[in-house]
Amino acid sequence: MAKNVFKLPDLGEGLPDAEIVKWHVAVGDEVKKDQPLVSMETAKAVVEIPTPYDGKIIKMYGGVGDIIATGNPLVEFAGDEQGEARAAPVDKGTVVGKVAVGEEVVTERAIQVGKAAMGIRAIPAVRALARKLNVDLSFVTPSGKDGSITAADVQRVAKILKEVGPMEPLRGPRRAMARNMSMARAEVVPVTVSDDADIHAWQDGDTTMRLIHAMVAACKVEPTLNAWYDSHAVGRRVLTKIDLGIAVDTEEGLFVPVLHDVGNRAPDDLRRGLEAMKDAVRKRDVPPEQLRGYTITLSNFGTFGGRYADPIFMPPTVAILGAGRARDAVVALDGKPVVHKILPLSLTFDHRAVTGGEATRFLMAAIEDLEKPA
């Protein structure tokens, strides 16, 4: 009988890996095509992968919590159907040839800070010591001649790492968040403009619903912020439908589910959709399509605290509106001091696609809407 190796497919938009959440089969099981095989978490969603063949499970490449790279072996079957090619040989990391030993300082490009590349300078013996002590040289502050790292530098960092304990790998939503933030930082040219909305006249205390309404109003005045930017083509697509990504914080990490077509939905429908979305995030059963395709983002971080921020948005979108914690403040009214409720706002935009004038017009339109009684 043929042995077929099933490799982890791309579970969405070129994602590099996924984490095993739950196996629905075990070694030795006879399985049928399309029955549940394994649940994998990636892009902040849990995706159930069906069994690709009829056959018998003879090997599983990983346990719960393991991270499998896209294209790497996941399960091996024994069966009659022809599956994918056998898995490529695993590189055991064996070094072939001689390892040079010497006192010459070797410089390698290590990390990028701003526009200036920083190099790591260390002799082979120090590099070998770092490998032995499991110390990443990019974490080490050099004290040697011409900025080179010494053995004492490596030992100092190794001692600190031993005291603080083992590194905790980021998994699931936090792993996706870290990857997304790095990508956003590398691609976007962010600028933030901030101002306050006087919400003293509010009659409805649902801040999120008022913010959604204000973003719709602002998109009508300045639609260029409801757009996608293509860095390769150096162009933008201004979108007519507003699919709002709403940042939702959880213990597992940050989720940004989509509330679709917010500009054409009745308030009651939007409120039900918002509650259903939050409930799905809490239960961790948000469909993958509900985490992609938003056109602009809202972050109501003031629920937890903070006044102003530099919120981060994900390309290809070009803007995010952040709302801080509302506060009582003294303002001037007809030349006299009065106390009103103030809502701080921070709008971050991609300056490659949006001008400062467009961004401030958007923010002022949102503030104008927020300052209405209802």
**Do 2-79 and 106-164 have matching folds?**
no
Tally Cβ neighbours within 10 Å of residue 194. Answer: 16
For the chain, domain boundaries? 2-79, 106-164, 173-370
| Cα–Cα distance for residue pair 246/317, rounded to 1 Å | 13
Please, is 109 exposed, middle or buried when counting C-beta atoms within 10 Å of its C-beta (0-12, 13-18, 19+)?
A: exposed
Residue 108 has a pLDDT of 47
In order, the DSSP letters of 257-277 are -EETTGGGS-HHHHHHHHHHH
| Cα–Cα distance for residue pair 273/307, rounded to 1 Å | 27
Largest CA distance in the chain: 89
Strand boundaries in 24-140, DSSP class E: 30-31, 36-42, 45-50, 55-60, 67-69, 73-79, 106-113, 116-122
For the domain spanning 2-79, the CATH number is 2.40.50.100
Is the pTM higher than 0.75? The answer reads no
Residue 259: φ, ψ to 5°: -105, 110
CATH superfamily of 106-164: E3-binding domain (4.10.320.10)
| Continuous segment of H or E residues that includes residue 346 | strand 336-350
Q: Given this structure, which CATH class describes domain 173-370?
A: alpha beta
Residue 96 has a pLDDT of 36
CB 44 within 8 A of CB 59: no
State the amino acid at position 151 in one-letter form. A
Residues of the chain with pLDDT under 70: 1-2, 12-14, 43-44, 79-119, 204
Please, is 99 exposed, middle or buried when counting C-beta atoms within 10 Å of its C-beta (0-12, 13-18, 19+)?
A: exposed
Residue 200 has a pLDDT of 94
Residue 119 has a pLDDT of 65
